[in-house]
Each structure stands twice: as structure tokens, then as C-alpha cells.
């Protein structure tokens, strides 16, 4: 949806100039404080923007009004405001207020639950909606700022004003606040102008903002792909230079970010941008090394087909699983490592894949903490691939009955599509399913608790073997003599 921006947006202030100390370099904490942006907020009245209350959820409106009626400031913030201005449907709505968490609890009573440790947030239940209400965050004192061993800034969260809260946000397009008091939009960083120009720009010095939170680099890629925006050249330069800071981000947080990156319906475009800015090599170093060594466009085509398939399912409203996504991303390093094990140790294909899969999963979770319920499924998918070459006797029927067959079959189709295996192999298994009355298009089951031990040798004889006989317990001679005495 198109919108116009009045000349008053051009009246925004500029960044404060940084001043250095004479005769030396400023400490990182003081430098961060000096480089913090300072803007004159611009108020855009209701007639000059396109946000309508009809497009805001009733739960968010009720939360805003209750805070306002209780005497507090209340704003709709973040991606919800950005998406409304772009004519998109927001995924969720977040509220920011000057009320402290305990005061928010008093306003909403039993419908409010406080969460978080370092910085308390309020989750307010409004019917079926959960509205996140956060207190304005302030700028930490320089004395409280700490650095990790590689220079990443670590700060304690403190409460502050709406101006300070806006300047803590990452991108200018996310520093737009919808005021429920007069239905205006408050612009703290030329966000409206950047929306119109399709530009993704950080608030403040990109070098310091990435040191504060390296995950902002991943968010920049995700927003650029999602919104179709250009990334500011200064931001791009710092993304390439500081990509290594992601190594110190907790692996659990990187897992969450990977799901947002690849399960947003634009996985292929996101993947290409991650590689362009050298971020993919930090998240998946083994895969990136394999991608650099292409042979007839493989394995890049395999990964591309897998991500395209994921996008198609998401855009069609079908379920997706992290297990299949990560199985695709790690398949090439697993395959190459298994080939080394098989050649060096004279192992069979399946034991070699088992070893390679276990080693590669261990490396993955040290960087991206994929839960075990998904890594188990990944390893099963990999392990079953050699079984598709075994087409004699009863082995095909045994494979068809395996609880993970559908997932492994989908994986085989991708391999054939990418040219790793012959298309004839995939077609043969498709025909077999049709002959057995199985729908090849049925949904795969990725639940982690299917069947017996997934890493046994397929347990192919378990179903045919009779259960072991129970041995009778023999009485000891002492017991016999005791019974004789009793009698």
C-alpha cells in the first residue's frame, strides 16, 4: 500500500558527532555511549499516515486502552507498526509503556504473567491473544557495560524513557511508535523515509550496534529478504567485517534465529544473502566448505532444491520440520565424511553414515543447538539412504514399513532432482509405493518417538523372531533345606 510522507519527516535530527579523547583511543564502553544516536522525534498525525485501528487486533487495542486509562503512556511498537505502514498483515503486536512490570501486573491482574530474568516482560492474555507488554528500556551506564573476550558489548537492561527505548532498537524502520492517545506515529530515526526508499539502516554506528548484539546481522538479512529492502552500504561493510562475532552468541539463540531465517517462506533468498555476507560460514562451517567445492553445480543445487521445497510447503500452508531442513543443510559434509570412514576403515555404507552423522551432529549442536528430537530424525534420514539401493528380496517391503520411510523418500527425491542419484531410482520407489497401494504424496511423520532403536541395523529380523523364553528361576539348596525343616 502506497503512502506519502510529509515534509516534516525531513526535519529529523542527525546523529551526534563522535568526539575522541586526545592522545589515545576511547574505551569501547565510552565509545558506545558517545556514538549513541540522538534524534528529534517527529510526530506524524493520523491524517498523514495509513494506520487504521481496524487493522490492529482487538487484544492489542484493549491492552493499549487499559494502560492509557490507568494513566500510563502506551504505544504499539516494532514490526507491527512497520508492517501496517507497508500495508502488510502483522504477525503479532507488541506494546511498550512507561509502566513498570509490577504496575502492568496491577493493571491487568490475573490476565498478566511476568516473564524474564534480566529484563521483565509482561504477557497479557486478551481472549485468545497473548500481547507482550514491555517497559521502556533505558541506556545503560558506561560503568555497567562489559565486554566479552572478542569485544562484544554486554549490557545490563535498565528502564528509561520512550526516547531511550526507541534509540535502543536496531533498525530505523523498527523505531516507529503508534500512540494510542492521539493515533499518531512517532518517528525517532527517519524510519518513515527509509520505508519509502526501501532501505534497511541501523540506528547509530553499525560497528558498535553489531558489537552490542551480533544477531542484528542475521536480523538484517531476514528483514532484507522479507521486506525486499536494500541494506545500507555502511551496514553491509560491517556485517562482512564482524561476522565472526556470531561465534560467541549462545547456540540456543542461534537455533531460534535459524528457524526464523529458513522457515519464513524465503529460505532460498535468505540462504543466498547469508552466503553473500559470509554469515553462513559462521553458522554452518562444514557445509560452507563443501559448497565452495562444487562439481557440476553439486551440492549447491541440492541445498537450493531443499530450501525451495521448504518455501513451497510454507507458502502452501503445509507443515515443515527443522529435522528435514538441517538434514538437507548437513547432508554433503555427512556424505563426504562417511566416504572417508568407509575408505579408511573398510566400513559398510550404513555404519560409516552412522559415525559421520554422529560426528557432524555433535559439531552442529556446538554452534547451533538443534534439539535432540530433531537430530535423531536427521540421522535416521541419512542412515536410510543406502537402503534405497537394496531393491532385491524382501528388503524393499521392510523399508516401506519403516516409520521414517516417508521422510527418507522425500530426501531421496531431492537427491535425484539435484542429480546426486539417478532419477530411475526415485521413480522405482515411487512405482513400488503405487503398487503397494501407498500414496507417494502422503505427508511424512517426523515425530521423534517412532519405532525401535533408530540406529540399530534396521531391526529387520525383530518382527520375525519369537520373543525370548523366560527362564525359570531355580531355587537354591539353602531354600530347599529350609522348606524341609519347616515341614
Q: Just list the catalytic residues.
A: 92, 94, 170
Angstrom distance (rounded) from CA 224 to CA 221: 5
Angstrom distance (rounded) from CA 104 to CA 122: 7
Backbone φ and ψ for 334, nearest 5 degrees, come out as: -65, -45
Query: Nearest CA to 330 among 354, 364, 305?
Result: 364
Q: Are 15 and 136 in contact (CB under 8 A)?
A: no
**Helix 215-227 with 233-241: angle, nearest 10 deg:** 140
Angstrom distance (rounded) from CA 197 to CA 215: 24
Angstrom distance (rounded) from CA 449 to CA 447: 6
* Residue 357 Cα distances to 26, 350, 352, 379, 452, angstroms: 48, 10, 8, 6, 19
Angstrom distance (rounded) from CA 238 to CA 255: 23
Nine-digit cell at 320? Answer: 515443515
Nine-digit cell at 6? Answer: 510529509
Query: Nearest CA to 245 among 117, 151, 138?
Result: 151
* Residue 400 Cα distances to 279, 388, 419, 424, 450, angstroms: 39, 10, 23, 18, 14
Amino acid at each position: 500500500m502506497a503512502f506519502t510522507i510529509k515534509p516534516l519527516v525531513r526535519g529529523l535530527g542527525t546523529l551526534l558527532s563522535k568526539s575522541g579523547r586526545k592522545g589515545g583511543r576511547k574505551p569501547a564502553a565510552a565509545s558506545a555511549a558517545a556514538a549513541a544516536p540522538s534524534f528529534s522525534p517527529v510526530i506524524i498525525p493520523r491524517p498523514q499516515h495509513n494506520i487504521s485501528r481496524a487493522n490492529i487486533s482487538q487484544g492489542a487495542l484493549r491492552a493499549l486502552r487499559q494502560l492509557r486509562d490507568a494513566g500510563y503512556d502506551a504505544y504499539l511498537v516494532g514490526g507491527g507498526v512497520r508492517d501496517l505502514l507497508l500495508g502488510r498483515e502483522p504477525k503479532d503486536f507488541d506494546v511498550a509503556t512507561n509502566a513498570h512490570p509490577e504496575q502492568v501486573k496491577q493493571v491487568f491482574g490475573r490476565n498478566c504473567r511476568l516473564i524474564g530474568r534480566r529484563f521483565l516482560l509482561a504477557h497479557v492474555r486478551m481472549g485468545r491473544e497473548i500481547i507482550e507488554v514491555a517497559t521502556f528500556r533505558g541506556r545503560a551506564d558506561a560503568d555497567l557495560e562489559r565486554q566479552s573476550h572478542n569485544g562484544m558489548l554486554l549490557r545490563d537492561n535498565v528502564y528509561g524513557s520512550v526516547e531511550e527505548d526507541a534509540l535502543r532498537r536496531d533498525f530505523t524502520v523498527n523505531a516507529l511508535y503508534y500512540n494510542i492517545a492521539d493515533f499518531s506515529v512517532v518517528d525517532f530515526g527517519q524510519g518513515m523515509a527509509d520505508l519509502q526508499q526501501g532501505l534497511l539502516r541501523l540506528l547509530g554506528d553499525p560497528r558498535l550496534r553489531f558489537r552490542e548484539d551480533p544477531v542484528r546481522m542475521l536480523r538484517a538479512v531476514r528483514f532484507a529478504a522479507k521486506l525486499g529492502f536494500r541494506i545500507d552500504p555502511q551496514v553491509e561493510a560491517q556485517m562482512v567485517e564482524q561476522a565472526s562475532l556470531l561465534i560467541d552468541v549462545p547456540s540456543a539463540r542461534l537455533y531460534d534465529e535459524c528457524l526464523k531465517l529458513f522457515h519464513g517462506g524465503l529460505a532460498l533468498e535468505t540462504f543466498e544473502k547469508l552466503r553473500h555476507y559470509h554469515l553462513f560460514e559462521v553458522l554452518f562451517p562444514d557445509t560452507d566448505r563443501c559448497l565452495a567445492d562444487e562439481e557440476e553445480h553439486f551440492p549447491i543445487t541440492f541445498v537450493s532444491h531443499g530450501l525451495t521445497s521448504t518455501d513451497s510447503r510454507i507458502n502452501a500452508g503445509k507443515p515443515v520440520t527443522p529435522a528435514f531442513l538441517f538434514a538437507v543443510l548437513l547432508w554433503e559434509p555427512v556424505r563426504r565424511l562417511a566416504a572417508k570412514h568407509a575408505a579408511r576403515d573398510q566400513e559398510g555404507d550404513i555404519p560409516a553414515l552412522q559415525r559421520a552423522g554422529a560426528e557432524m551432529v555433535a559439531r552442529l549442536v556446538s554452534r547451533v543447538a538443534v534439539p535432540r528430537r530433531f537430530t535423531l530424525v536427521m540421522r535416521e534420514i541419512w542412515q536410510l539412504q543406502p537402503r534405497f539401493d537394496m531393491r532385491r528380496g524382501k528388503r524393499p517391503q521392510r523399508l516401506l514399513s519403516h516409520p521414517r520411510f516417508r521422510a527418507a523418500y522425500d530426501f531421496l527425491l531431492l537427491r535425484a532432482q539435484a542429480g546426486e542419484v539417478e532419477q530411475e531410482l526415485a521413480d522405482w520407489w515411487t512405482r513400488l509405493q503405487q503398487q503397494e497401494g501407498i500414496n507417494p504424496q502422503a505427508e511424512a511423520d517426523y515425530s521423534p518417538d517412532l519405532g525401535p532403536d533408530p540406529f540399530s541395523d534396521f531391526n529387520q529380523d525383530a518382527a520375525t523372531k519369537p520373543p525370548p523364553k523366560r527362564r525359570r528361576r531355580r531355587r537354591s539348596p539353602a531354600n530347599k533345606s529350609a522348606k524341609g525343616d519347616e515341614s
